[in-house]
Structure 1
Amino acid sequence: MSKTTVPAGYQSALDLYETQVAIGKLRHIFQDNLAAALELKRVSAPLFVDPKTGLNDDLNGIERPVSFEMKETGKSAQVVHSLAKWKRMALKEYDFYPGNGLYTDMNAIRRDEELSNIHSVYVDQWDWEKVITKDERNLDYLKETVDKIVGALYDTATSICEMYPALTNTLTREVFYITTQELEDKYPGMTAKERENAICKEHKTVFLMQIGDKLESGKPHDGRAPDYDDWSLNGDILIWNEILGTAFEISSMGIRVDEKALDEQLNKANCNERRELTFHKLLLNGELPLTIGGGIGQSRVCMLILHKAHIGEVQTSLWDDETKAICKEAGIRLL
């Protein structure tokens, strides 16, 4: 069943041709702004990985990866869900040093994704990762990095709005920081999504911290794999989307697990079988660099800055018949 909704009175500010041109400009400007802000270098990245390495992102642990057999090798490969783990291996292999990092265009297929205005089975992100020191594994460094990402986003919106007067910059540089437990305490009678909506409507740009571990209610705010983010030093960048009237996640990120955090989180998540995978062995043995990283949704950023109501207006994907019918009737052009 389609989860697509049409905002009352919605009309795209840009026509189809302007939209395509603007997407190209926006992506170029933002990745340059991001690379400059975080001192990142662009690298090439895989579309699929060997499942035996443990490099694929397990997301919430229930999503099924797309797999196929390679004719020449007879071995299976998995299309990535994201590059959360691969990037850390790449930093080691490419000899990156503290203060420097990488970014890449990540393209993934998440076949179990529920289709909606903001969800597609096709995922495109700027995946980034940066080597840090042991002293930088702290909350202040995490917040400093978030401020830089939000600043890059705001500057990009400013540039695009100057090029297209039909658009206005609704973003802000100011970030409101709150933990998932503080949010639950503030809105105890709400669901996790309702809490996100309430805090974003009030503060516009929010970094919601400490996602993955159980809250005092006995449940986590949201699922998070145990083997990349440190659950005490991670979070989501959420921005209030005026068109859709909802909290809009543009990035999941965090300081990554060290040996101690990985050991604890594998136990909590009952995922100790992963200790035998290549990535996890290296990490537990202290053979991978300490890092911070995340993914920033390319189509999500385009939706936000170009004032689009549906992700299909800024990316090409496959949609169910009901979604296509709803969008056609509303005049929403799916690419």
Structure 2
Amino acid sequence: MSNQLFIPPNYKPVLNTTRTEKAIKLTKDLFENQLSAELRLRRVTAPLFVLKGTGINDDLNGTERPVSFPIKCMQETRAEIVHSLAKWKRWNLKKLQITEGFGLYTDMNAIRPDEDLDNIHSLYVDQWDWERVITPEERNLKFLKRVVRKIYSVMKRTEYLLYEEYPELVPQLPDNITFIQAQDLQDQYPGLNSKEKEDRAAKEFGAIFVIGIGGALANGEKHDGRAPDYDDWTTPSEGNYKGLNGDIVVWNNVLQRSFELSSMGIRVDAPALLKQLAIANSEDRAKLMWHQMLLNGELPQTIGGGIGQSRLCMFFLRKAHIGEVQSSIWPESVIEVCEKNNIPLF
């Protein structure tokens, strides 16, 4: 496992463990409050688990196994720890009768036992899941970019306010985020894998939003996987490109690599859902409760995403390992290597 670790040469944490704990709280408070105001989001309480077979839990790439357990007082009906809350949020917007231009956000905590553990991946996932009601006319790339810029502005402000409190944390984000189509990355960097393409672009621009993730590119390959039933990755966006979703990726100076902070997108409408289920050979999901609600026009049109809490803290506090900002489980080999290299895991 330790061979997946990257150890920055001569690494020394900018903040010690005590100051890190305080900075984590400040980072989360600053970002959460500003995100809520910028996107007009109401905070709500989220579930840790949902019933299996309802279609509410997310498939992510379609291969990750959810943690599940039987419920004794419900005839052993099984529940699943959430992977994310993409579909639950949309259902909750309907339940709370939140109107166009407003939305919700929540703390999402998940367990992903199939993660490959390294500097930035953990068994434990914590993120701000957010969702906002949109009009049918806002289902376009221009609106997606507008929301991305709003979120990026919150990141910029948070980075500066942390610098005011901790002068050692010198701001690094560029003034603007650069929008890049996944197809353009494919054309510009042939022969490289998706991660290597993001490395090149993130290092050049500092912060990028990669558009169009989940659908096949011109060469038949995907930039990355996406479940077929939340983000819209088939609707034409501009030119011959497709996809109304993407990732916010920044250049991480500590790790010397691209670093994803957020995945988001305009959500599927009924036609996009049916198209993407067919592409993914997952038409049977259309029979599930949540999918039937969407197909029957019972759910609002939305945009939404997830923003990694530990990822954000890791980036702003200049940490080399996600275990420096969250408590999780690590192989003994990882713990030993980190101890030898001044990387204090919680």
Counterpart for residue 227 of structure 2: 225
SS of alignment partner, residue 293 of structure 2: helix
CA–CA distance in structure 2, aligned partners of residues 130 and 202 of structure 1: 32
Question: 1:1-46 CA deviation, whole Å, 9 max, x = no partner?
Answer: 2311210111100010000001001100000010111000000000
Q: TM-score, normalised by structure 1?
A: 0.99
SS of alignment partner, residue 69 of structure 2: strand
The percentage of counterpart residues that share the same residue type is 53
Segments of 5+ residues of structure 2 without an aligned counterpart are 234-242
Q: Which structure 2 residues correspond to residues 256-267 of structure 1 after superposition, within 5 A?
A: 256-267=267-278
Matched residues, number: 335
2:86 to 84, 87, 92: 84
CA-CA distance at 1:287 after TM superposition? 1.1
Range 185-194 or range 293-302, more displaced: 185-194
CA-CA distance at 1:173 after TM superposition? 3.4
CA–CA distance in structure 2, aligned partners of residues 165 and 291 of structure 1: 39
Cα RMSD for the two superposed structures: 0.7
Counterpart for residue 100 of structure 1: 102
CA–CA distance in structure 2, aligned partners of residues 328 and 11 of structure 1: 12
SS of alignment partner, residue 116 of structure 1: coil
Counterpart for residue 140 of structure 1: 142
CA-CA distance at 1:144 after TM superposition? 0.4
SS of alignment partner, residue 230 of structure 1: coil
CA contact (8 A) 1:147 1:173 kept: no
CA-CA distance at 1:235 after TM superposition? 0.2
CA contact (8 A) 1:121 1:317 kept: yes
Letter in 1 for 2:115: E
CA–CA distance in structure 2, aligned partners of residues 5 and 206 of structure 1: 23
2:287 to 276, 288, 295: 276
Q: Which structure 2 residues correspond to residues 33-48 of structure 1 after superposition, within 5 A?
A: 33-48=34-49
Q: TM-score, normalised by structure 2?
A: 0.96
CA contact (8 A) 1:4 1:116 kept: yes
Counterpart for residue 337 of structure 2: 326
Counterpart for residue 161 of structure 1: 163
Runs ≥4 residues deviating over 6 A:
none
Residue 25 of structure 1 pairs with residue 26 of structure 2: yes
Letter in 2 for 1:305: F
CA–CA distance in structure 2, aligned partners of residues 327 and 56 of structure 1: 34
CA–CA distance in structure 2, aligned partners of residues 170 and 240 of structure 1: 9
Question: 1:290-327 CA deviation, whole Å, 9 max, x = no partner?
Answer: 00000000000000100000000000000011110110
Range 2-11 or range 79-88, more displaced: 2-11
CA-CA distance at 1:172 after TM superposition? 2.3
Counterpart for residue 253 of structure 2: 242
CA contact (8 A) 1:66 1:78 kept: yes
CA–CA distance in structure 2, aligned partners of residues 284 and 241 of structure 1: 41
SS of alignment partner, residue 236 of structure 1: strand
